[in-house]
Structure 1
Amino acid sequence: MTHAASAPADAAYVEGSVFRHVVALTALGSLGLMAIFTVDLVNLLYISLLGDEVLTAAMGYAGAVLFVLVSVGIGFSIGVTALTARRIGAGDRAAARRVATSGLIISFAATSAVTLAIAMVLDPCLALLGAAGREFEVTRHFLWITMLGMPPLALSMAMGGVLMAFGAPRMTLWINVSGAAATAILDPIFIFALDLGVTGAAIVTVLIRFVAIGVGWYGLVPRLNALARPTMDSVRHDIAPLLTIAFPAILTNLATPISNMIVTAYVARFGTEAVAGWSIIGRIYPLCFAGIFALTGSVGAIFGQNVGARRFDRVRKTLADSTLFTAIYVAAIWLLLFLGTDAINWAFQATGRVAEMIAFYCLWAAPTFIFTGALFVANAAFNNLGFASYSTMFNWGRATLGTLPFCWLGIWFGSADAVILWWSIGAALFGLPALWLAGRSIDRLAARA
């Protein structure tokens, strides 16, 4: 039987080489995600040029809070992508357009509500992280501005997920690249030319979100006609199936920033220099491992379309090829980090203890990400096959049992380096069991079908 002949026009991922689709979508997705992370990295780079470690440390505290809101956006993006891709795979374009439209509305509204909730408890959250004195004031000021841009960011991420589901990953890339390019242009103007410092960086972070939305709208409406006229009935109809995927995905993604917050609080015990070093590491590793972070969302379209088309042989192949891609990617990034340690320290003007922390991370902690990558591959399968609760279970296990006891070990060894290393080791313990269970889940789904 030839499946290609009956494949719907938009269902590009139910035929051809699975590994090629995995590499292509993850490469485009990682470039887009790198563009998002580059916004934070460029902000931190310019702030570090001001020569004040308190400002650099403040960016670390702010990043831990913003990561929570980004995780909410990622969760809804995963839900929108999965539901839209399934309908594309089944050949129902009208339903895909309806779900996509409802998903964008729900993503924006829900992220707005979460942002408001965090704003109401911002001060105690910063105190729990260990921010005090001038660090507290700078972080709080920066967040009050940048949080205004989080609902628009969630909307642009959901737009990217819809474009991915409709087989237009290049447009997804342009959404994120446009924001990074705008940051590179506007940051020097607002931070240095207008002499606004941290305030300028925060204003730019908000402005670029609307640039990304404009690009996303162009791809969805004039280019693809991928959206339907929104109605309250459609939103009510689609909110339950969307939340069935998005809510566990949000809980799953929240585990990472919660884990980062715990690490930040433990690292803060070793002073401002340690927090400054962790702040830089916290911007480096998401950027370098963007391919792994992107994998969860990018291959979701491949999983979703093939589930919709009942091609479970290709679903299994997607899991295997994603795991292979992860192993190759992490090995390559470890080598690049090891060779580029001096360049990283030079770029951030890191010296002394801060430089030592960065070098330690690049050599010892970075390679453990291969196991975290295995967990992310499993998450992609769980989220798109109807087993999203498994993602939540494994990720919160990593964020609690894989974080707290190991951070205590780091404190016992007496250095911020030890905290980061033991945290990396603890996170690694959950990857392989999750990958095994993902394989078994595919077998169960195929048998049920």
Structure 2
Amino acid sequence: MSSLTSSQFKALFDQTLPMLVGLLAIMGSQLIDSAFIGQLGDEPLVIVGFSIPIYQLIVGVQVGIGIAATACMSTAIGENKIRYARFLSAIILTMGSVLLLLLCGLLWLFQQEVVTALGGDASIFNQLRNYWLPWLISCWLGAILYFGYSISRAFGDTNIPGNVMVITSIINIVLDPIFIFTFDMGMSGAAWASCVAFAIGLIIIFNSIKDKHFIALPTKLNVIKMGVSSISKFTAPAMVSQFIPPVSAIVVTALVATFGHAAIASWGLASRVEYLLIILILAMTMALPPMIGKLKGQKNYTEINALVKTAVSVILGFQLLLALLFILAAEPVSALLTTDDGISALLSQYLALVPISYGALGVCMICVSASNAIGLPSFALAISLIRLLACYLPLVWLGAEFHGFKGVLIGATVGNFLAGFTSWQLFKRQLGKVAKTNESFKLSVAQ
């Protein structure tokens, strides 16, 4: 490993570790949450299975906004425009909160139509209504909390977001059995527990942001206009890029629903497990953009290249080891998450096959994250489209046609491998073009 790569590895490790610990706490609490809900029977798991793609849609919006925030703010910091970066914090928080409130409100109003379109029937509507009210509130609070994380990360502080993730997760785990079983609130209790945990997290994170002067209210209209324009330029393609995975998840969920309730319940559980298995990938996609954004502000594309290569190498090695572990642990993990033998058997098939492709999926996600950070949101969108529309969805559909539920798993696995290879080749070529263009610009200025 070269000295440059070694220094990049240390910087990447320092920024990623707090996010990894925080995300591990979040994913662990969600998995425990699913285990608690799983004890309530088959129907609650079915409702969770239908809620997962909608949750991914909400997360897609909030992450799209967060990407824009991190890219714009970290670049401004790299250019030493600290005061402007603080103004961007207030602008992004206001824009994001209002947009997510509107989205959650629409989902509440059209909940039955949404679930029916996914393949649900009227038998789950009563329990769905009781669950979705607190669940959508928790989604909104969680989105605002995520914007707080984005602001802190843009200023180089990953410790506070990581700590808050751990704190909210512990609170959630403690309150889950109390709300679900002691207060006899059923699966709705899990959502209310999340609401309380997120509310406490919001108090902590925004007190930190205020004390560290990471946010300031812009008073001039031209600054607000400039900030909104800058953020919107990134937000639109970044949000569309983030929309694609949840939309594809909705399509696949509807496809899986044709194989019965056991299949959709196992797919919902598998989605929760997947988040846990790709936790290092998610942590790196959160840690990389501020680092890349600052390097971009300094026009240092050599270090950007070294940083991304280091991240990809770490992801591939780690995900391979994790996949091998889950091939051995698929059955006991499945039995732990559900008492239903049919659901457990299908979940075991998923865990024994699909995780082997998560390293390739991680390469694709790193390329998307890096592309956004260097100011290429449209290119990041193109990678996302190629991954899902050319690699993932067609192979999942073909697999379902020829081999049913197991074919879906095979298609997802092969699709991830193909997407990882394609995205890496495209990203290397594009980064080379950007670096060459900037080097030519420097030479022309010097001359």
TM-score by length of 2: 0.91
Q: What SS does the corresponding residue of 1:337 show, helix, strand or coil?
A: helix
Q: 1:375 and 1:206, CA in 2 relative to 1: closer, same or farther beyond 3 A?
A: same
The one-letter code sitting in structure 2 at the alignment partner of 1:156 is L
> Retained in 2: the 8 A contact 1:54–1:134?
no
1:222-258 CA-partner distances (Å, limit 9, x unpaired) = 2x22111344734333111112222222211221111
**Correspondence for 1:297 among 274, 286, 300:** 286
For 2:401 and 2:429, the matched residues in 1 are separated by: 39
- Is 2:10 aligned against 1:17? no
Unaligned runs of 5+ in 1: 1-13
The one-letter code sitting in structure 2 at the alignment partner of 1:38 is G
Runs of 4+ in 1 over 6 A off after TM superposition: none
| Match in the other structure for 1:6 | none
**Correspondence for 2:215 among 227, 236, 241:** 227
Q: 1:139 and 1:303, CA in 2 relative to 1: closer, same or farther beyond 3 A?
A: same
How many pairs does the alignment contain? 434
Q: What SS does the corresponding residue of 2:423 show, helix, strand or coil?
A: helix
| Structure 1 residues 166-177: aligned runs within 5 Å | 166-177=155-166
> Retained in 1: the 8 A contact 2:39–2:339?
no
**Correspondence for 1:122 among 107, 111, 114:** 111
| Match in the other structure for 1:10 | none
Q: What SS does the corresponding residue of 2:200 show, helix, strand or coil?
A: helix
User: What displacement does 1:351 show?
Assistant: 4.5
> Retained in 2: the 8 A contact 1:191–1:198?
yes
**Correspondence for 1:322 among 305, 308, 311:** 311
| Match in the other structure for 1:4 | none
User: What displacement does 1:67 show?
Assistant: 1.3
Unaligned runs of 5+ in 2: 439-447
TM-score by length of 1: 0.91
- Is 2:31 aligned against 1:41? yes
The one-letter code sitting in structure 2 at the alignment partner of 1:35 is A
| Match in the other structure for 2:61 | 72
1:47-88 CA-partner distances (Å, limit 9, x unpaired) = 1122x1111111111111111101111111111111111122
| Match in the other structure for 1:26 | 16
> Retained in 1: the 8 A contact 2:277–2:322?
yes
Q: 1:15 and 1:99, CA in 2 relative to 1: closer, same or farther beyond 3 A?
A: farther
For 1:227 and 1:383, the matched residues in 2 are separated by: 23
Aligned-pair identity in percent equals 21
> Retained in 1: the 8 A contact 2:238–2:381?
yes
User: What displacement does 1:313 show?
Assistant: 1.2
The one-letter code sitting in structure 2 at the alignment partner of 1:228 is A
Q: What SS does the corresponding residue of 2:391 show, helix, strand or coil?
A: coil
**Correspondence for 1:212 among 176, 201, 210:** 201
| Match in the other structure for 1:7 | none
1:317-370 CA-partner distances (Å, limit 9, x unpaired) = 111111111101211221232233243123213453322222222221111112
For 1:235 and 1:216, the matched residues in 2 are separated by: 24
> Retained in 2: the 8 A contact 1:295–1:376?
no
**Correspondence for 1:348 among 337, 341, 345:** 337
**Correspondence for 2:350 among 361, 365, 369:** 361
- Is 2:113 aligned against 1:146? no
| Match in the other structure for 1:103 | 92
User: What displacement does 1:136 show?
Assistant: 4.0
The one-letter code sitting in structure 2 at the alignment partner of 1:60 is G
> Retained in 2: the 8 A contact 1:61–1:139?
no
> Retained in 1: the 8 A contact 2:23–2:283?
yes
For 2:156 and 2:375, the matched residues in 1 are separated by: 22
**Correspondence for 1:178 among 152, 167, 192:** 167
1:135-194 CA-partner distances (Å, limit 9, x unpaired) = 344334322321123232222112111211212111110222222111111111110100
| Match in the other structure for 1:334 | 323
Higher mean C-alpha displacement, 56-65 vs 233-242: 233-242
| Match in the other structure for 1:390 | 379
| Match in the other structure for 1:253 | 242
For 1:119 and 1:254, the matched residues in 2 are separated by: 19
> Retained in 2: the 8 A contact 1:39–1:205?
no
Q: 1:403 and 1:118, CA in 2 relative to 1: closer, same or farther beyond 3 A?
A: farther
For 1:300 and 1:365, the matched residues in 2 are separated by: 27
| Match in the other structure for 2:144 | 155
> Retained in 1: the 8 A contact 2:138–2:192?
no
Q: What SS does the corresponding residue of 1:400 show, helix, strand or coil?
A: helix
Q: 1:239 and 1:37, CA in 2 relative to 1: closer, same or farther beyond 3 A?
A: farther
For 2:28 and 2:231, the matched residues in 1 are separated by: 29
| Match in the other structure for 2:441 | none
| Match in the other structure for 2:426 | 437
The one-letter code sitting in structure 2 at the alignment partner of 1:225 is H
> Retained in 1: the 8 A contact 2:62–2:143?
yes
- Is 2:397 aligned against 1:413? no
